[in-house]
Amino acid sequence: MTETQTTYVLDTGPLSHFAHAQWLGVLKVVLKDCRVLIPDVVAEELRNGTEQHHHLRHVLEADWIETVPLRTSAQLAAFVHYERRLVGPDGRNIGECGVLALAESLPHAVAVVDDRVAVEASRGRPVTLRRTLGLLCDAIRAGLLTVPLVSALADDLLQSHYRLPFKPGGFAEWCAREGLF
User: Average pLDDT for residues 83-97, to the nearest whole number?
Assistant: 94
At 174, the pLDDT band (50, 70, 90 cuts) reads very high
CB–CB of 65/42 below 8 Å?
Answer: no
Distances (CA, A) of 35 to 108, 119, 153: 10, 22, 23
- pLDDT digit string, tens, across residues 19-64: 999 999 999 999 999 999 999 999 999 999 999 999 999 999 999 9
Please report, as a single letter, which amino acid is at residue 169.
Answer: G
Question: What is the Cα–Cα distance from 4 to 38, expressed in whole angstroms?
Answer: 20
Residue 3 has pLDDT above 80, yes or no: no
Which of 112-145 are b and which e, b meaning 16 or more Cβ less than 10 Å from the residue's Cβ?
Answer: bbbbeebbebbeebebebbbbbebbbebbeeeeb
User: Average pLDDT for residues 146-152, to the nearest whole number?
Assistant: 97
- pLDDT digit string, tens, across residues 122-138: 999 999 999 999 999 99
Question: What is the Cα–Cα distance from 3 to 43, expressed in whole angstroms?
Answer: 29
Please report, as a single letter, which amino acid is at residue 19.
Answer: A
pLDDT-above-70 percentage for the chain: 98
pLDDT value for 108: 96
Beta-strand ranges (E) seen in the chain are 7-10, 35-39, 66-68, 109-112, 128-130
What average pLDDT does the chain have?
95
Burial of 172 (0-12, 13-18, 19+ CB in 10 A): middle
